[in-house]
């Protein structure tokens, strides 16, 4: 399990942001200073949105769940028309700007015409199409999945023209437009939809810049229904509603939360362990989801404790596309336990609860879908030496990643759960074990051939890092950690696409014949216009197993 040296110690994330702010040109360096043109958003598609600010749907084979917001309060509760049926919106904020729409009783594999209207019938926007997925028992010829991570980040914070922590929204929107030009059937946005770290960084959500933009959160008060609600809207609104707008209105979206969605980076030292999440962090993540993006849709197999009476879940869900594909999405932060944290009373250490682990293992072994993909918020195979990873690797004194030193506050139970999930995934010899993740601000792919002495040569585990949409010049982990992602030391691996720190996304094309993976990347110094013609920089195929499906 050899590993190459990938960097030298530099400075912490917190310190790096502080130094970056302190050394920026007074008043903020403009784009002209860096020899760049100011970013331009892609042209809109001519769809009339009225006062609608954002629209994000998710679907399964019989249901739509849609989150929306308006720039100004509608005169009355908006009504969603779906063909000849009507569904009044459910207000989710205090100001009458945010609404959710839950549409059930739909036919599988069917396209519907949707339109938002006043109760008197006047249109609030143009109509748009949205299609249900094929039913689990129905065949599907193909399924194209778009996946990415780390789309969030306030482009008004640590933005000095070309020198920024997060790409400007117009550039991110241009990346989205290019990704959508490939007409994906669904999108998985895997974590870090917002960046506004509070306890773990005095240069982020608690900085004077952040306070000037949005005010300060009061951790003693609930997020919604108090002054905190306006802080949330000002801080997070531009990162989600302002970024996505109405561009994804006809594409099923699956949003999975990770550490920054709880208002923190995953960090641990004697002063602070940011996870397990405290009550305010939980409220912040729930409130953001309630307003801005759909919950995950839960099937009958998900344990009842993790879904609500409407059949949706905040943290765990299934993306099922007929007989062809089943995606298992799971948040590794919400229920994380750590028996080594002296401030906690946990009896064992897990990233997900044991009954969720059992659900994942059962679906891995018994789902009749041709392809299964697990989509955890924390990557399999890869490490960057961070604290809250599956693996014990950390950054050593010589700048490499390894296990020669113990990682503080890292419990063996996290890796033990990882081992059980992998064992279940490789048990089925008729399909390729597949994990698709985000978090690490990189694009790459590899295979696990053995795990701590257990060989997977007969059925290697594929792991894909999907690519980061929003990371700016200052934001790449190698800038402040001095290292890029690498395979974990306890694994024997085959790297198919070396992880690269450039903005991008991935497309996965599933069929009965197998899976085609296409990775896309872009650098700011290439110019925004290059985004419009992006082609895959890496592509590979995974042939389907020839065995009959059990």
Cα angle at 497 between 17 and 460, to 5 degrees? Answer: 120
* Distance of alpha carbon 505 from alpha carbon 49, whole angstroms: 27
pLDDT at residue 16, rounded to an integer: 43
Using a pLDDT cut of 90, give the percent of the chain over it: 82
The 3 state secondary structure assigned to 438-495 is: CCCCCEEEEEEEEECCEECCCCCEEEEEECECCECCCCCHHHHCCCCCEECCCEEEEE
pLDDT band at 549 (very low <50, low <70, confident <90, very high): very low
Residue 14 pLDDT exceeds 80: no
Quick one: average pLDDT of 478-503? 92
Residue 15 pLDDT exceeds 70: no
Residue 298 pLDDT exceeds 80: yes
The DSSP result for 119-188, as a single string, is TTS-BSS--EEEEPPPPTTS--SEEEEEEEB-----TTSSEETTEESB--HHHHHHHHHHHHTT--SEEE
* Distance of alpha carbon 259 from alpha carbon 247, whole angstroms: 26
pLDDT band at 7 (very low <50, low <70, confident <90, very high): very low
pLDDT band at 28 (very low <50, low <70, confident <90, very high): very low
Q: Are 225 and 94 spatial neighbours (Cβ–Cβ below 8 Å)?
A: yes
Instruction: Name the residue among 159, 122, 175, 212 with its Cα closest to residue 24.
Output: 159
Residues sharing a CB contact under 8 Å with residue 115, sequence separation 6 or more, in sequence order = 80, 81, 123, 124, 125, 126, 127, 128
pLDDT at residue 34, rounded to an integer: 47
450 token code pair:
């053995």
pLDDT band at 39 (very low <50, low <70, confident <90, very high): confident
pLDDT at residue 8, rounded to an integer: 36
Domain positions in the chain are 13-543
Residue 38 pLDDT exceeds 90: no
SS3 212: helix
Q: For 383, how many CA atoms within 13 A lie in the half-sphere containing its CB?
A: 25
* Distance of alpha carbon 256 from alpha carbon 316, whole angstroms: 8
Residue 109 pLDDT exceeds 90: yes
For residue 105, report the phi and psi dihedrals to the nearest 5 degrees: 75, 30
Residue 11 pLDDT exceeds 70: no
pLDDT band at 545 (very low <50, low <70, confident <90, very high): confident
31 token code pair:
């784009």
* Distance of alpha carbon 440 from alpha carbon 456, whole angstroms: 24
Q: What is the DSSP letter of 65?
A: E
Question: Beta partners for 371?
Answer: 325
- Yes or no: is domain 13-543 CATH 3.60.21.10? yes
Residue appearing with tokens 């770290």: 197
Reduced DSSP (H G I as helix, E B as strand, rest coil) percent helix, strand, coil of the chain, to 5: 20, 30, 50
For residue 525, report the phi and psi dihedrals to the nearest 5 degrees: -75, -5
- Please give the residue that has the higher pLDDT: either 156 or 317: 317
**Order of strands, sheet of 85-88, starting from the edge strand that comes earlier in the sequence:** 85-88, 79-82, 111-117, 128-131
Q: CA distances (Å), 485 to each of 147, 471, 479, in order?
A: 18, 15, 13
pLDDT at residue 546, rounded to an integer: 52
8-12, 139-143, 264-268: the lowest-pLDDT one = 8-12
Per the prediction, the chain carries an average pLDDT of: 91
Instruction: Name the residue among 287, 292, 258, 277 with its Cα closest to residue 199.
Output: 277
Element (H, E) at 28: none
Burial class for 311, CB neighbours closer than 10 Å (0-12, 13-18, 19+): middle
Question: Beta partners for 316?
Answer: 330
pLDDT band at 160 (very low <50, low <70, confident <90, very high): low
Q: For 85, how many CA atoms within 13 A lie in the half-sphere containing its CB?
A: 10
Torsion of CA 275, 277, 278, 280, to 10 degrees: 130
13-27, 286-300, 371-385: the lowest-pLDDT one = 13-27
pLDDT in tens, 304-356: 999 998 889 999 999 999 999 999 999 999 999 999 999 999 999 999 999 99
* Distance of alpha carbon 379 from alpha carbon 357, whole angstroms: 16
81-95, 145-159, 171-185, 495-509: the lowest-pLDDT one = 145-159
pLDDT at residue 228, rounded to an integer: 98
pLDDT at residue 544, rounded to an integer: 84
Q: Are 247 and 180 spatial neighbours (Cβ–Cβ below 8 Å)?
A: yes
* Distance of alpha carbon 173 from alpha carbon 38, whole angstroms: 14
Element (H, E) at 19: helix 13-23
SS3 396: coil
Residue 442 pLDDT exceeds 50: yes
pLDDT in tens, 215-265: 999 999 999 999 999 999 999 999 999 999 999 999 999 999 999 999 999
The DSSP result for 69-125, as a single string, is EESS--SS--EEEETTEEEE-EE-SSSS-EEEEEE-SPPTT-EEEEEEE-TTS-BSS
pLDDT in tens, 16-27: 444 444 434 333
Q: Are 194 and 239 spatial neighbours (Cβ–Cβ below 8 Å)?
A: yes
Residues sharing a CB contact under 8 Å with residue 253, sequence separation 6 or more, in sequence order = 56, 57, 58, 186, 187, 189, 293, 294
pLDDT at residue 477, rounded to an integer: 81
């Amino acid at each position: 399990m050899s590993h190459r040296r990938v960097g030298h110690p530099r400075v912490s994330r917190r310190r790096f942001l502080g130094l970056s702010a302190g050394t920026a040109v007074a008043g903020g360096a403009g784009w002209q200073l860096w020899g760049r043109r100011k970013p331009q958003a892609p042209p809109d598609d001519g769809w009339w949105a009225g006062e609608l600010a954002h629209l994000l749907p998710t679907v399964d084979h019989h249901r739509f769940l849609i989150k929306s917001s308006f720039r100004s309060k509608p005169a009355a509760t908006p009504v969603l028309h779906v063909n000849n049926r009507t569904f009044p919106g459910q207000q989710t904020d205090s100001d009458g700007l945010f609404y959710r729409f839950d549409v059930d009783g739909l036919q599988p594999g069917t396209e519907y015409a949707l339109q938002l209207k006043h109760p008197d019938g006047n249109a609030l926007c143009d109509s748009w199409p949205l299609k249900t997925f094929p039913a689990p028992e129905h065949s599907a010829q193909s399924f194209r999945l778009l996946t990415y991570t780390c789309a969030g980040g306030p482009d008004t914070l640590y933005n000095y023209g070309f020198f920024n922590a997060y790409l400007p929204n117009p550039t991110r929107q241009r990346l989205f437009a290019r990704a959508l030009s490939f007409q994906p059937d669904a999108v998985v946005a895997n974590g870090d939809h917002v960046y506004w770290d509070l306890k773990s960084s005095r240069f982020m959500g608690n900085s004077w810049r952040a306070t000037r933009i949005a005010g300060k959160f009061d951790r003693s008060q609930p997020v919604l229904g108090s002054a905190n609600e306006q802080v949330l809207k000002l801080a997070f609104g531009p990162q989600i509603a302002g970024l996505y707008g109405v561009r994804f209105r006809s594409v099923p979206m699956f949003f999975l939360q990770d550490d920054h969605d709880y208002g923190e980076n995953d960090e641990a030292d004697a002063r602070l362990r940011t996870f397990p999440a405290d009550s305010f962090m939980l409220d912040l993540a729930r409130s953001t989801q309630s307003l801005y993006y759909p919950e995950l849709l839960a099937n009958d197999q998900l344990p009842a404790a993790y879904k609500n009476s409407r059949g949706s879940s905040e943290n765990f869900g299934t993306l099922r596309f007929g007989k062809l594909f089943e995606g298992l999405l799971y948040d590794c932060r919400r229920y994380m336990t750590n028996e080594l944290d002296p401030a906690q009373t946990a009896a064992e250490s897990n990233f997900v609860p044991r009954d969720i682990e059992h659900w994942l293992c059962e679906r891995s072994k018994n789902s009749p879908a041709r392809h299964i993909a697990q989509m955890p918020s924390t990557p399999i195979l890869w490490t960057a030496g961070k604290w809250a990873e599956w693996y014990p690797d950390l950054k050593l004194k010589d700048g490499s990643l390894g296990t020669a030193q113990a990682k503080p506050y890292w419990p063996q139970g996290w890796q033990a759960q990882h081992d059980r999930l992998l064992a279940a995934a490789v048990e089925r010899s008729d399909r390729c074990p597949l994990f698709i993740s985000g978090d690490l601000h990189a694009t790459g792919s590899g295979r696990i051939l053995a795990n701590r002495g257990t060989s997977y040569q007969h059925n290697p585990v594929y792991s894909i890092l999907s690519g980061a949409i929003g990371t700016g010049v200052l934001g790449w982990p190698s800038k402040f950690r001095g290292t890029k992602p690498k395979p974990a030391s306890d694994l024997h691996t085959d790297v198919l696409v070396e992880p690269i720190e450039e903005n991008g996304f991935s497309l996965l094309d599933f069929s009965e014949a197998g899976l085609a993976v296409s990775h896309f990347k872009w650098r700011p110094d290439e110019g925004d216009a290059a985004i419009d013609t992006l082609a895959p920089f890496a592509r590979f195929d995974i042939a389907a197993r020839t065995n009959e499906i059990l």
